[in-house]
Amino acid sequence: MNQENPMTMAMRHALGWLLAANGVGLWLSALLCWPELGSAFGEQGYGRWLPLHLNGQLYGWTSLPLIAWMFFCYRVDACLTSSRLSRGAVVLWTTSLLSLGLSCLLGTTSGKIFLDWKGPALWIFLGTQLWLWLALAMGYRANRVSWSKPQRIIRVLVLLGLLTVPVSLWITTSPSTYPPIDPSTGGPTGASLLGSTLIVVAMMLALPHTLGLPATWRHTRSLVILWSFEMIAFILLEWRGGSHRDMAQIVGLALLLPWMILIPRYWSQATWPKQTKSFRLFTYLWWCLLVFTGWLEFLPGILDRMKFTNGLVAHAHMAMAGFTSSYLLLMMVMMGGKRAAISLTHGQRMWHIATAVYVLSMMLAGWCEGAQYAWMSESPWWREGLFFLRFGCGVVMTYVSWCWWRTFSQSSDV
């Protein structure tokens, strides 16, 4: 019996986690529409289910395709040892997430959003990351002679960087560390948003290179210089501090706006497979919406009205269900070839239409919530109606994610 390719295995698990996380999200949406449903689960109420949805999306759906990407870059399938270690890493990764889910349902978490790891779940996850590092290191060892010196240097630097991840996670999950928000307003800082998004920009610039697409690259050095300048700006702004009323923070975040045009223009220099056209289009659209609205919502007056409302939910889903999912689907189609393209094209438009309606409904809800606070003690018709609309969007998105997982799992065409 042939062993499953580690990349394929990671992508299959990723789609499984997308389905699971969306299923939990649908349950959360149902609880907001019909609160009486929560009584059936006793202590396992909304607050304990929410981390399962958030962590399933981040550590499951988002992380596993990136792990598959690293498997691709380090050619772990070319070595029997690294291939076995890689498949084991995927199984351990899913096991870690299951242990985290159980921990959250039992009420044992760090209390930090996206950093809920605590107790046995944390140690299992830290061990999993070290196992994954070993799999990549073995892949590097087996293939290093086939790479040029710059390619070897980049891969070594990435491996060294990955070694810091378990330590960083252990530190950031501690109650003694403070989240990257502005203490005076409770909102994000422009610097924190700039820094995190620049990591995404770097990944987008690197994607066609790591996939080996034929291209005539121009202006690469200029883009690297621009990116480096903006990273320096991030470091200075983070050191300086400031709120969304600080002009330096506003201008700093605006440094991301040129990438709305630069990324598509840079990607257009590569020759992409035909089946990626729609996936690239949706990635471009959501990227532009995310960057522009992210800067717009950071402005004084707008952030003050939206930051503690469903407007934040809208922007989070624009980032995750819109842009991030589009980018990950594009990556999976590139790595999975015909198999992934056939499986993931089905329901693609349904997904993006449902996501757009979801984002618009929650954006409207957030804007109305910020205008007056009577909804906290009442159930206004407009808010209830938008919640039911959101539930309908969740049904569609969960159905599409089930279709993706089922067709990808059943396909035998690698």
Residue 182 in domain: no
Q: Terminus-to-terminus CA distance in the chain, angstroms? A: 15
**215: amino acid identity, one letter:** A
Do 266 and 292 lie in a common domain? no
Confidence of residue 177 (pLDDT cuts 50, 70, 90): confident
Residue 22 CA to residue 391 CA, distance in Å, equals 11
Do 52 and 108 lie in a common domain? yes
Residue ending a domain, among 222, 256, 271, is 271
The per-residue pLDDT for 180 is 55
Do 27 and 157 lie in a common domain? yes
The per-residue pLDDT for 179 is 61
- Could you tell me the two tokens for 293? 């609205």
Do 222 and 165 lie in a common domain? no
Do 247 and 283 lie in a common domain? no
Do 55 and 119 lie in a common domain? yes
For tokens 């252990």, what's the residue?
170
Confidence of residue 413 (pLDDT cuts 50, 70, 90): very low
The per-residue pLDDT for 337 is 85
Q: Is the pLDDT of residue 185 over 60?
A: no
Weakest mean pLDDT among 146-155, 208-217, 226-235: 208-217
Computed over every residue of the chain, the mean pLDDT equals: 91
Residue ending a domain, among 225, 254, 271, is 271
Packed helices 277-298 and 325-345: angle between N→C axes, nearest 10 degrees: 150
Do 282 and 240 lie in a common domain? no
Residue 31 CA to residue 390 CA, distance in Å, equals 12
Residue 54 CA to residue 43 CA, distance in Å, equals 19
Confidence of residue 125 (pLDDT cuts 50, 70, 90): very high
- Could you tell me the two tokens for 296? 């717009």
Residue 331 in domain: yes
- Could you tell me the two tokens for 75? 């050619």
Residue ending a domain, among 151, 177, 203, is 177
**Number of Cβ atoms within 10 Å of the Cβ of 407:** 18
Residue 340 in domain: yes
pLDDT tens column, 352-408 = 999 999 999 999 999 998 888 777 777 788 889 999 999 999 999 999 999 999 999
For tokens 């991301």, what's the residue?
256
pLDDT tens column, 187-200 = 667 778 888 999 99
Number of domains in the chain: 3
Q: What are phi and psi of 124, to 5 degrees?
A: -65, -40
Residue 59 CA to residue 106 CA, distance in Å, equals 19
Nearest in space to 106 (alpha carbons), one of 121, 93, 96: 121
Residue 255 CA to residue 296 CA, distance in Å, equals 13
- Could you tell me the two tokens for 3? 């062993």
* Percent with pLDDT over 70 in the chain: 96
The per-residue pLDDT for 216 is 84
Residue 332 in domain: yes
Residue 306 CA to residue 191 CA, distance in Å, equals 19
Q: What is the DSSP letter of 270?
A: B
Residue 96 in domain: yes
Q: In this structure, are residues 330 and 344 in contact, taking their beta carbons and an 8 Å threshold?
A: no
Residue 138 in domain: yes
Q: In this structure, are residues 360 and 392 in contact, taking their beta carbons and an 8 Å threshold?
A: no
Nearest in space to 352 (alpha carbons), one of 387, 316, 326: 326
Residue 325 CA to residue 318 CA, distance in Å, equals 10
Confidence of residue 90 (pLDDT cuts 50, 70, 90): very high
Q: Is the pLDDT of residue 414 over 60?
A: no
- The length of the chain in residues reads 414
Q: In this structure, are residues 195 and 187 in contact, taking their beta carbons and an 8 Å threshold?
A: no
Q: What is the DSSP letter of 5?
A: P
Average pLDDT over residues 121-127: 96
β-strand partners of 215: 270
Confidence of residue 239 (pLDDT cuts 50, 70, 90): confident
The per-residue pLDDT for 304 is 82
Q: What's the domain range around 205? A: 187-271
Do 261 and 332 lie in a common domain? no
Do 374 and 335 lie in a common domain? yes
- The domain that contains 12 carries what CATH number? 1.20.210.10
Do 78 and 223 lie in a common domain? no
pLDDT tens column, 27-61 = 999 999 999 898 888 888 899 999 999 999 999 99
Q: Is the pLDDT of residue 89 over 80?
A: yes
Do 110 and 147 lie in a common domain? yes
Do 246 and 291 lie in a common domain? no
Residue 344 in domain: yes
Residue 338 in domain: yes
Residue 100 CA to residue 104 CA, distance in Å, equals 6
The per-residue pLDDT for 245 is 72
The per-residue pLDDT for 181 is 57
